Structure formats: C-alpha cells, structure tokens
Amino acid sequence: MNPLLEIDSLTVQFGGVPAVADLTLRIAAGETVALVGGSGAGKSTVALAVAGLVTPASGAIRFEGEELGAVGRRRRRELRRGMHLVFQDSYAALPPNMRVADIAAEPMVIHREGDAVSRRAAAVAALESVRLTPTATYLDRFAHELSGGQRQRVAFARALVARPRLLLADEPASGLDASLRLEIVDLMTELANTQDLAVVHITHDLALAARSCSTIVVMQDGRVVESGPTADVLSAPAHAYTAALVAAASG
C-alpha cells in the first residue's frame, strides 16, 4: 500500500495542553476513513493540522510522500492543493456575496488555475457531479438562497473543483435532517469510489461511519485507541472505549 497521507507522532497543543498526542495514522489513496470519538477527542484538530490551519508542536505529516513541514512554502502550497476541507457549517464557510458558479470555481482562482471559461466549465462539472441539478438553475444564485442540503452540495463541489486526492470532511452532514444526512454521506462515498478520492469523514455517528467508510479510527484524548476495518471494529471492539461508544450508539 502506497500511503497518500502519513501522519507520524503528531502532537498539537493549545496553550501547552495537548489536543492531539503522538498520533500516527496512514491513509491510502482512495481509502475511506471514519474518524470517530467523543467531543474534545482531537478529531478536528487532526484535520486542521493536516490542512495547515494549526501548527503542530511535533511530528511529521507526509502527503504524497513529501513532508509538509520540510518542503518550501511554495511546494507546501502546491501539495495542499491536493487536499480540501469541508466543514459542518457550509453556510458560514461559503462566501455570502458570491454566486454559486463563482463559489464553486473559487479554489481555481485562489490556485491561479485556468481562465474564466475553463473555471466556469469546471464549476459546472463539479456541480453536476454533486448532483445539484438542473445545474443551470443554480449557477447565479447566492448561498443564502439555498437549503442546507443544497449548500452542502455546493461546499462539496467547491471541494472537488481543484481535483483533490484527499477530502477532509468534518461532520459534513450533522446540521442536516436524517434523510439529507444519508444523501450527503452517500454522495461522499460515491465521490471516493468514482474519483479516486481518499476521504477522512469525521463523525459522531457510528452508523454513518459504518455506512460511509471501510476503515475506522477511534480517538480518545488526542490518541488513537483502535483502528481497523469498520465492520470488524464495530462488531468486535478490542478497546473498552470503542465498546462504550458502540453501546452508547445502540442503546
């Protein structure tokens, strides 16, 4: 297995207190990984560290074989084009004064890719791939004119337009009602399968984790307590903390 993302002994601290402690994790190209664990376990902090939005105290993060902390700034920026972060609250994350087509194309503008015509075409293709259809009727709308589920589709289109290899999705569906939640999570799985995209799906919901991801990683207090094939880990947890999560979810 050729890992896409390799996290080695990652420690992230806030005010001297470790949020992530000596965490090691490997993710292969196209792999779907659920990152689960209680509130404050450090799940979001892992995603933020990978995306470069918080600075690790120690450890190494390699993406496509290159260590992000060791390469030059320019190369680091190039490498990070290969990953994209989607948050729970796309309403807050999407620019309010831009139209859907421009929101979807914005990562290409930021990365200075293509021209206006090719960006528009890529945005339309991405919006079609997340099935925001008929796409033409959405292109000129603003984020506030969309429903929560539609906004989250725009957030995914925006994530896909730069053709990332890794999608970091932090509770992407938790603000949505039950049926939309399944649609968004299934969409993510479909994108992983059809676009050779690796997905890290951060979720509190073990049923959603099982539905969307072949591998599960269980975190507690900034550490990985257990990981493995999702079905195996959830049906026969090796660690007491995982067993407690499973019991809480089914009870």
Q: What share of the chain is helix, strand, coil (3-state, %, to 5)?
A: 40, 25, 30
CA angle 98, 101, 103 (to 5 degrees): 45
Q: Which is nearer to ligand ATP, 41 or 127 (CB)?
A: 41
Which region, judged by CB under 6 A, interacts with ligand ATP, from 32-40, 63-71, 122-130, 140-148? 32-40
Distance CA 111, CA 202 (A): 26
Closest CA to 106 of 145, 63, 144, 155: 155
Which region, judged by CB under 6 A, interacts with ligand ATP, from 39-47, 102-110, 138-146, 148-156? 39-47
Q: Which is nearer to ligand ATP, 108 or 218 (CB)?
A: 218
Q: Which is nearer to Mg ion, 44 or 152 (CB)?
A: 44
**220 lies in the binding site for ligand ATP (CB under 6 A):** no
**55 lies in the binding site for ligand ATP (CB under 6 A):** no
Which region, judged by CB under 6 A, interacts with ligand ATP, from 23-31, 43-51, 62-70, 117-125? 43-51
**45 lies in the binding site for ligand ATP (CB under 6 A):** yes
**41 lies in the binding site for ligand ATP (CB under 6 A):** yes
**Residues found near Mg ion in the complex (CB under 5 A):** 44
* Residue 172 binding: pick among ligand ATP, Mg ion, none (C-beta 5-8 Å cut-off by kind): none
Name the strand (E) or helix (H) holding 78.
Answer: helix 73-80
**42 lies in the binding site for ligand ATP (CB under 6 A):** yes
**168 lies in the binding site for ligand ATP (CB under 6 A):** no
Number of H helices, E strands in the chain: 10, 10
Q: Which is nearer to Mg ion, 48 or 61 (CB)?
A: 48
In the complex, what is the shortest distance from the CB of residue 202 to Mg ion, in angstroms, rounded to a whole number?
A: 6
Q: Which is nearer to ligand ATP, 141 or 204 (CB)?
A: 204
**201 lies in the binding site for ligand ATP (CB under 6 A):** no
**Coil, strand or helix: which one is 197?**
coil
DSSP bridge pairs for 27: 5
Distance CA 175, CA 177 (A): 7
* Residue 42 binding: pick among Mg ion, ligand ATP, none (C-beta 5-8 Å cut-off by kind): ligand ATP
In the complex, what is the shortest distance from the CB of residue 199 to Mg ion, in angstroms, rounded to a whole number?
A: 16
Distance CA 74, CA 76 (A): 5
Closest CA to 187 of 167, 204, 206, 215: 167
The residue number with the shortest CB distance to Mg ion is 44
In the complex, what is the shortest distance from the CB of residue 39 to ligand ATP, in angstroms, rounded to a whole number?
A: 3
Distance CA 172, CA 5 (A): 20
Phi-psi region of 221 (alpha: psi -120 to 50; beta: other; left: phi over 0): left
**229 lies in the binding site for ligand ATP (CB under 6 A):** no
Cβ neighbour number for residue 73 with a 10 Å cutoff? 7
